[in-house]
Amino acid sequence: MKKLPILAFVLNIVLASCTSNDSVPIIDVTPPSATEANVSGLITENTTWTNDKIWVLNSKVVVDAGVTLTIEPGTIIKGKEGTGSLASALIIARGGKLNAVGTATNPIIFTSVNDNIALGETAGTNLTIADNSLWGGLILLGKAKGSFSGDVNEFQIEGIPASDTFGLYGGNDDTDNSGHLEYISIRHGGAEIGAGNEINGLTLGAVGSGTIIKNIEIVGNLDDGIEFFGGTVSPSNLLIWGQGDDGLDIDQAYSGTISNALIILGNTSDSALEIDGGEGSFQASFTLNNITLVGNANAPGGKYCDLRSGAQGALNNIYAYNFQTTSYIRLKHDNVASNYVNNLINFSNWEIVLPAGVSSITSLFQDHSPTSLAPSFGADSANWATAVTLGNETVGADLSVFSWTYANSKGVY
């Protein structure tokens, strides 16, 4: 006798059990949703990535101008390995938007396909802070002003080959809105696209003040944690741990305010802060408020702050500890030393736990400009910098806002 398929057999039993007054029960035979979705290329219509899948970046994924990508709270995005043109990254092109708003209990997590984190989890178990460059990073591009070489109006973002025009950023709309980013953790990125050219954890190219960025964590990125190329966006509550280069990097006359940031150096890190000015004739000033810097005994650079290339701005309420005896805050070039002399670079309320072997806080502030334009920099620091003991600081970041982070779960600060 011919055997019925299993599904037909079950249906026959159910139907046979019904009387004429019974309604036929509905049996849901829809296959379960896939738990993984692969994405690549250009997104040309409004799209939502839901938290019931892990979204895998097969290569560069670009949100086109006029298009919004929405990412639900608790969503996990994993980037595939690759270098050069094959590096994976999520890029919000100029005129596009990213609305990625997580919560403290359901953050949005960007990580590598090598991370064994699963749906519903906030951390995997198989990767460490040393596992970097496993994918690219998150790149947000806008239409605000920047100061570019040759006084051009737009520029190609670092980390994207010049042949890819979706990497352009810049314009004249300082209130430009590239979306809303909140409670996002970006881990294990920084893939190389060329010799010495890696993608930052979060790259912000001419992002305008209409964009909301707060509660962001960068973990184990090969290059910088967050880099600002011009723009006017004012982010807050930023945590950067174990970057390979600089924690916060400012370039091209960025003129926003960065508030409440914690930067924790790893054993491959360079500077906690690296700050450059404009590259063209346009100049503008940044503001840093309430920043905590945590050094590392093995970091090959390990500087507190490197001020370079005509930087202009204010650095207020900075607390630093655990740095090396050889660490310092420097004015590197003549134009930034000149800006200091002319009150275009200002410091207020620095508190530093002196490293072993350092007896004077003024020795940490050093003028390295080729012609020594600011010889009083060190002595002047007595007006704004104070030596404190560990745990007795009165300035720096409010660390309570970072309780949701992976770094907090690892007890690294």
Q: What is the pLDDT of residue 84?
A: 81
Instruction: Transcribe 277-338 into DSSP letters.
Output: --SSS----EEEEEEEEE--TT-SS--SEEE-TT--EEEEEEEEES--TT--EEE-SHHHHH
Q: Please say whether the beta carbons of 96 and 69 come within 8 A.
A: yes
Segment 306-347, tens digit of pLDDT: 999 999 999 999 999 999 999 999 999 999 999 999 999 999
When pLDDT is averaged across residues 250-274 and rounded to a whole number, the result is 98
When pLDDT is averaged across residues 381-406 and rounded to a whole number, the result is 98
In whole angstroms, give the CA distance from residue 8 to residue 12.
Answer: 6
**Confidence band of 159 (pLDDT split at 50, 70, 90):** confident
In whole angstroms, give the CA distance from residue 44 to residue 228.
Answer: 26
Q: Is 258 left (phi over 0), alpha (psi -120 to 50) or beta?
A: beta
Name the percent of the chain in helix, strand, coil, to the closest 5: 10, 35, 55
In whole angstroms, give the CA distance from residue 383 to residue 315.
Answer: 14
Segment 11-65, tens digit of pLDDT: 343 333 333 333 344 443 444 457 999 999 999 999 999 999 999 999 999 999 9
85, 89, 95, 97: CA torsion to nearest 10: 170
When pLDDT is averaged across residues 84-102 and rounded to a whole number, the result is 94
Domain boundaries, the chain: 38-409
- Residue 71 DSSP code: E
Count CB atoms within 10 A of the CB of residue 78. Answer: 22
In whole angstroms, give the CA distance from residue 310 to residue 332.
Answer: 10
CA distances from 410 to 58, 276, 406, 407 (A): 29, 32, 7, 5
Fold held by 38-409: Pectate Lyase C-like (2.160.20)
When pLDDT is averaged across residues 354-383 and rounded to a whole number, the result is 97
Q: What is the pLDDT of residue 202?
A: 98
Tokens of 334: 């003549």
**Confidence band of 160 (pLDDT split at 50, 70, 90):** confident
**Confidence band of 98 (pLDDT split at 50, 70, 90):** very high
Q: What is the pLDDT of residue 85?
A: 77
Segment 264-301, tens digit of pLDDT: 999 999 999 999 999 999 999 999 999 999 999 999 99
**CA-based nearest residue to 93, from 151, 44, 145, 146:** 44
Using a 10 angstrom Cβ sphere, with 0-12 exposed, 13-18 middle and 19 or more buried, the burial of residue 142 is buried
When pLDDT is averaged across residues 232-260 and rounded to a whole number, the result is 98
Segment 179-200, tens digit of pLDDT: 999 999 999 999 987 667 789 9
When pLDDT is averaged across residues 245-254 and rounded to a whole number, the result is 98
